[in-house]
Amino acid sequence: MEKFKEWLRGFVPERIAVNHTERLRAGIGACIGILCTGLITILIEGDASTIPYLIAPMGASAVLLFAVPSSPLAQPWSVIGGNTTAAIIGVTSAIWITHPPTAAAVAVSLSIVAMFALRCIHPPSGAVALTAVLGGATIHAQGYWFVLVPVALNSLIILLVAILYNNATRRPYPHLVTKPAQQLTKDIPAEMRFGFNAEDLNAVLKEYNQVLDVSRDDLQTLLQQTEMHAYRRRFGEIICADIMSKDVVSVVFGTLLEDAWLLMREHQIKALPVIDRARRVVGIITQANFMQHANLEVYEGFDAKLKNFIRRTHTLSSQKPEVVGQIMTSPAVTAYANMHIIELIPLMSQTKVHHHIPVVDDERRLVGMVTQSDLVSALYHGRVANLRTLGLSS
């Protein structure tokens, strides 16, 4: 009996973890999308009495485009390719197979196979194929014109509306697959050397062998964020403000290169945050910036090149950079003072200026600097404290 009750529970999905704002955003988007699709189709066609100006599968497409725009099933090629492919197959099935139920079954099944092959799986396309077969005399009279109007036209209009609306409401669309930074060595990125990596995820997805309604990179991001959340729980609430250096040496955009270099030498540091008059961070200058712009990667004549580069030019015009703002890295990667130290790991492992990260407050004003050494020390002592707590509790 318990197994039967457990089986019945599977009929009801888990509660969707989406707030009311996102639900309202999706609903308004679908309303605008369907309204625009219908009105524009009528405007283009003129006479809406001879052909359907809006087909039912567009309602299902609207759900995907506005409620789950990051889904692989809702991307532009999935919408256009899936719907037009299904329409072609549906019309062909209706013409060549006289038995409607058989024609409907063949149309839907072939559409699925074709969408797999063309990498344009779009669930509403199954309804498009069905509509082409069972839509009645009006649709049958259109023949293959049904593929262009209303199917392709409806699909194109609602897709354009989705692109405009989703991006206007801060939901990037189409969903871009994030590619990892190019590695010069065969080693995997530092942030992926612990926990799972891309190869692990690929292996699991291959074993799962089912279509997921979430992109691979989104799934990887969610899993990595879950790992980060677990690390936060294990290490406790240690934030950047707890480990950062507060007495920070900084420069401004117009600081002379010679002065900036002397500050680095005097304080034995390798990076200086660049701030404006309100102490907001506008960039960062490191030893690497000096080496890059002075062509110091080639060590021949190192000292002479460096001196010539940082030496101030006293003429009215100069062919070389003179101030910090001309060679700094901008925008600078920053961390917030209330950010958990675990969140520093991907920042330090994925950025070029990874040894030093300026720390800012909620108004992006400079309040400190955190280095890799600070992070390593905090992780070590946090882990030791955690183990001691576990030892005392046991």
Euclidean distance between CA atoms 27 and 22, whole angstroms = 9
Euclidean distance between CA atoms 30 and 328, whole angstroms = 45
CB contact at 8 A, 103 and 133: yes
Q: In what order do the strands lie in the sheet with 366-371?
A: 335-336, 356-360, 366-371
DSSP string across 231-254: HHHHH-S-BHHHHSBSS---EETT
CA atoms lying within 13 Å on the CB side of residue 391: 6
CB contact at 8 A, 215 and 75: no
CA atoms lying within 13 Å on the CB side of residue 84: 16
Residue 309: predicted pLDDT: 58
Instruction: Please name which of 354, 389, 349 lies closest in space to residue 371, comparing C-alpha atoms.
Output: 354
pTM of the model: 0.64
CB contact at 8 A, 141 and 91: no
User: Sign of torsion, CA 178 182 186 187?
Assistant: negative
Euclidean distance between CA atoms 141 and 307, whole angstroms = 83
Residue 183: predicted pLDDT: 46
Instruction: pLDDT tens for the chain, 394 residues: list them.
Output: 777 777 777 777 777 778 899 999 999 999 999 999 999 999 988 776 777 889 999 999 999 999 999 899 999 999 999 999 999 999 999 999 999 999 999 999 999 999 999 999 999 999 999 999 999 998 999 999 999 999 999 999 999 999 999 999 999 999 876 655 444 444 445 444 456 667 777 787 778 787 676 767 777 777 767 766 666 666 667 888 888 999 999 999 999 888 888 898 898 888 999 999 999 999 999 888 887 766 555 455 555 555 665 666 655 555 678 888 888 988 888 999 998 887 887 777 655 555 789 999 999 999 999 988 888 777 766 555 554 555 555 5
Torsion of CA 73, 75, 80, 82, to 10 degrees: -20
Euclidean distance between CA atoms 325 and 343, whole angstroms = 28
Angle between helices 372-393 and 216-235 (to 10 degrees): 60
- Across the chain, the runs of DSSP E, i.e. the strands, are 251-252, 271-275, 281-286, 335-336, 356-360, 366-371
- Provide the phi-psi class of 25: left if phi over 0, else alpha when psi is between -120 and 50, else beta: alpha
Angle between helices 57-67 and 76-96 (to 10 degrees): 160
Euclidean distance between CA atoms 138 and 153, whole angstroms = 17
Cα angle 378, 382, 387; round to 5: 155
C-alpha dist (Å) from residue 181 to 124, 200, 300, 356: 36, 18, 31, 20
Phi, psi of 366 (to 5 degrees): -65, 125
DSSP string across 269-327: -SEEEEE-TT-BEEEEEEHHHHHHHTTTTS-TTHHHHHHHHHSPP-SS--SS--BGGGT
Euclidean distance between CA atoms 182 and 332, whole angstroms = 20
